[in-house]
């Protein structure tokens, strides 16, 4: 298989050259009749649904044996259903196939200017390729990621920048918030904007601190500090001992943050994480602060570019570029941890920003289209052309599962898991899945036969619940399974049913084939 890469890589010698290998088209087992000792599994599932109050809703479930090749359970296996975060299993599988576990992102500091006596006569360009790890999650402190970039500037001998600080996000294209996402979610941390330059996971933390006296306005702090953040603070400090009632209001990420309500004198601070309105401006402003802290003066201002035609980096690498234009020089580069570490965050923590970044990366690397739609098409082609999923049983809209427009059947999802189980990347995929009975992973099914045995990805949206993965039976047989439910009245009751079925599969015992 050959991956089309942008001409940009020849210029920058980026590290996005993942080894891309093709695998034979995968074929999951057919659906033969279950062996006599397991004919009652479907009846057991239906009794579980009844006992847990799940008679309502649309259900689909399938379980197959990797060792015997037979089907143990098939309930509406071809019904296309909204998978919620089970979508991440598909994105991670496509990423392991196309990019490989050792793939790394790179973030560059570039210029077309001339350096004379410590003065950069021109712009400093921060160019990102989508690295989502520039945060405290992967660095010792919150400021360390951009400080490491600022250190590259001083290491190049720069003490003053005469031009602007240009943040170039053109490696990705299109919208940063998916049009399918519920507008009510856009102020929540799980719906942060997806950009080619992403600092602090495109989130800021707002802290509301009681004022110094009754009747005064509370103090508003942000982490990291964001000068000029538009805040309308109408809250007030009330007598000590009363209840804190603080509301943070914002219609959309681009509106000022409204703070209303009451906070008691000497009371506890109120914390809230919010997506930033513009991830490029946010990253540029923070980098400027880090530069100034290291004694580098920026004479210009922070500017952003999202149009490829205006990007000095994209223009320099485009065919037929102006030969008289000064060359783009690399001043420094930072690489991300290996992709596998990112994919573990995607599945174990169900991290939407990381999943969407990987999706857009697939679109850019595989198809030359680093947008939501490009990523969705790259994943869809992997599922159909590589994993052998029937085209009519899959519908891809984003990489995380936040879009209610995603759809896949339980049988198609098992087809993908079966394909991956026969690929060189099964161990890596397995390592990304949350483990049952483990705190901070899949803490459910504790003290059941599935604990420390079953690994699966959860999925939850309003009216949707899903669980897909693999479990070993009492005799060690490997069982792939997928359970999905839509149009639910209670996602909690649905998860009880998933847990009971997972424990039941773990309790099975039949001799392994020789």
pLDDT in tens, 140-189: 999 999 999 999 999 999 999 999 999 999 999 999 999 999 999 999 99
Q: Which of 274, 282, 280, 278 is nearest to 187 (CA)?
A: 274
Check whether 19 has a pLDDT greater than 90.
no
Those residues whose C-beta lies under 8 Å from the C-beta of residue 109, and which sit 6 or more positions away, are 124, 125, 126, 127, 149, 152, 153, 330, 331, 332, 333
How much is the pLDDT for 46? 82
Tell me how crowded residue 95 is: count the other CB atoms within 10 A of its CB: 32
> What confidence category does residue 49 fall into, taking pLDDT thresholds of 50, 70 and 90?
confident
Let me know whether 146 and 205 are in one domain.
no
| Residue among 222, 220, 218 at smallest CA distance from 276 | 222
Please tell me whether residues 403 and 256 are part of one structural domain.
Answer: no
Select from 288, 106, 332, 91 the least CA-distant residue to 197: 106
Asked whether residue 353 falls in the same domain as residue 501, the answer is yes
Answer yes or no: do 349 and 460 share one domain: yes
User: Domain check: are 51 and 118 in the same one?
Assistant: no
What pLDDT band is residue 320 in, cutting at 50, 70 and 90?
low
Residue 15 placed within a domain: no
Q: Name beta bridge partners: 5.
A: none
- List, in order, residues 6 or more apart from 414 with CB less than 8 Å away: 28, 62, 64, 77, 468, 480, 481, 482
* Same domain, residue pair 320 and 230: no
How crowded is residue 9: how many other Cβ atoms within 10 Å of its Cβ? 15
**pLDDT of 317:** 65
In the predicted structure, residue 29 carries a pLDDT above the cut 50: no
Contact 248, 258 (CB under 8 A): yes
Mean pLDDT of the chain: 90
User: CA Rg, the chain, in Å?
Assistant: 25
pLDDT surpasses 70 at 365:
yes
Say yes or no: 390 and 483 in one domain. Answer: yes
Do residues 89 and 169 both lie within one domain?
no
* Percent of the chain residues topping a pLDDT of 70: 91
Q: Which residue has the tokens 């009632």?
A: 245
- Tell me: pLDDT of 423 over 50: yes
Q: pLDDT tens-digit profile of 78-125?
A: 999 999 999 999 999 999 999 999 999 999 999 999 999 999 999 999
Is residue 12 pLDDT above 70, yes or no? no
pLDDT of residue 316: 67
Looking at residue 318, its pLDDT comes to: 60
Weakest mean pLDDT among 16-20, 167-171, 181-185, 431-435: 16-20
Concatenate the DSSP letters of all residues of 216-250 into one string: SPPEEEEES--TT--EEE--EEE-TTSPPEEEEE-
Q: Is residue 288 part of a domain?
A: yes
pLDDT at 45: 81
Locus of tokens 């007030």: 236
pLDDT band at 138 (very low <50, low <70, confident <90, very high): very high
Q: Among candidates 185, 227, 163, 104, which has minimal Cα distance to 402?
A: 185
Answer for the pair 209, 218: CB distance below 8 angstroms, yes or no: yes
How confident is the model over 438-464, as a mean pLDDT? 93
CATH number (domain holding residue 124): 3.50.80.20
What was the pLDDT predicted at 263? 97
Q: What is the CATH number of the domain that holds 48?
A: 3.40.710.10
| Count of positions (residues) in the chain | 514
Query: Looking at the predicted structure, is the pLDDT value of residue 294 above 50?
Result: yes
Q: How many domains does the chain have?
A: 3
**Quick one: 267 and 282 in the same domain?**
no
Mean per-residue pLDDT, 241-257: 91
What is the model's pLDDT at position 362? Answer: 98
Output the pLDDT for position 47: 86
pLDDT (0 to 100) of residue 18 = 32
Is the confidence at residue 17, as pLDDT, over 60? no
Residues 469 and 384 in one domain: yes
Q: What is the pLDDT of residue 63?
A: 94
Closest by alpha carbon to 482, among 512, 459, 462, 448? 459
CA distance linking residue 438 with residue 96, whole number of Å: 25
The average pLDDT across 436-448 equals: 91
**Mean pLDDT of the region 196-213:** 96
- Taking CA atoms, 456 is separated from 50, 355, 445, 453, 466, in Å, by 23, 16, 12, 10, 10
pLDDT band of 11, cuts 50, 70, 90: very low
Residue 28 lies in a domain: no
Same domain? 487 vs 379: yes
What DSSP assignment string belongs to 386-451? IS---GGGEE---SSS-STT-EE-HHHHHHHHHHHHTSTTHHHHHHHSPBBT-TTSB-TTTTSTTT
Model pTM score: 0.91
Q: Which range of residues forms the domain containing residue 265?
A: 186-275
One domain for residues 155 and 202:
no
- Mean pLDDT along residues 408-420: 98
**What's the pLDDT score for residue 38?**
57
């Amino acid at each position: 298989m050959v991956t089309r890469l942008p001409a940009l890589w020849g210029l920058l010698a980026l590290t996005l050259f993942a080894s891309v290998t093709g695998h034979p088209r995968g074929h999951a087992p057919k659906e033969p009749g279950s062996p006599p000792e397991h004919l009652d599994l479907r009846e057991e599932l239906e009794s579980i649904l009844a006992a847990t109050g799940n008679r309502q809703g649309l259900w689909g479930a399938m379980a197959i044996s990797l060792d015997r090749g037979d089907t143990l359970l098939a309930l509406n296996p071809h019904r296309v259903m909204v998978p919620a975060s089970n979508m991440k299993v598909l994105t991670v599988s496509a990423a392991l196939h196309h990019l490989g576990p050792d793939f790394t992102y790179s973030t560059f500091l570039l210029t077309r200017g001339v350096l004379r006596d410590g003065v950069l006569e021109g712009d400093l360009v921060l160019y990102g390729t989508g690295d989502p790890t520039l945060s405290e999650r992967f660095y010792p402190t919150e400021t360390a990621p951009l400080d490491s970039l600022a250190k590259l500037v001083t290491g190049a001998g720069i003490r003053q920048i005469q031009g602007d600080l240009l943040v170039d996000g053109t490696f990705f294209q299109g919208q940063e918030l998916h049009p399918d996402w519920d507008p009510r979610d856009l102020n929540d941390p799980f719906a942060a904007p997806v950009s080619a330059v992403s600092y602090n996971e495109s989130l800021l933390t707002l802290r509301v601190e009681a004022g110094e006296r009754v009747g005064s306005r509370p103090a508003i702090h942000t982490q990291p500090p964001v000068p000029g953040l538009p805040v309308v603070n109408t809250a007030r400090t009330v007598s000590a001992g009363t209840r804190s009632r603080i509301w943070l209001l914002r219609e959309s990420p681009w509106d000022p943050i409204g703070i209303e309500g009451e906070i008691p004198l000497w009371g506890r601070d109120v914390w809230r994480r919010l997506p930033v309105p513009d991830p490029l401006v946010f990253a540029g402003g923070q980098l400027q602060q880090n530069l100034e802290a290291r004694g580098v003066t920026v004479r210009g201002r922070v500017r952003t570019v999202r149009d490829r035609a205006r990007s000095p980096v994209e223009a320099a690498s485009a065919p037929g570029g102006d030969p008289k234009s000064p060359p783009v020089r690399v001043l420094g580069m930072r690489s991300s941890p290996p992709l596998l570490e990112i994919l573990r965050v995607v599945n174990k923590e169900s991290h939407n920003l990381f999943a969407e970044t990987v999706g857009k990366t697939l679109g850019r690397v595989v198809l030359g289209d680093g947008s939501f739609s490009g990523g969705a098409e790259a994943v869809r082609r992997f599922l159909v052309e590589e994993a052998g999923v029937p085209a009519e049983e899959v519908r891809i809209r984003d990489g995380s599962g936040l879009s209610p427009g995603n759809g896949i059947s339980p049988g198609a999802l098992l087809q993908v898991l079966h394909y991956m189980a026969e690929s060189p990347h099964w161990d890596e995929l397995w390592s990304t899945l949350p483990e049952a009975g483990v705190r901070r992973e899949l803490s459910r099914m504790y003290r059941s036969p599935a604990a420390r045995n079953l690994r699966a990805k959860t999925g939850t949206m309003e009216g949707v619940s899903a669980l897909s993965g693999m479990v070993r039976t009492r005799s060690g047989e490997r069982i792939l399974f997928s359970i999905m439910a839509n149009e639910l009245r209670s996602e909690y009751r649905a998860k009880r049913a998933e847990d009971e079925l997972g424990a039941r599969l773990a309790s099975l015992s039949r001799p392994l084939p020789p």
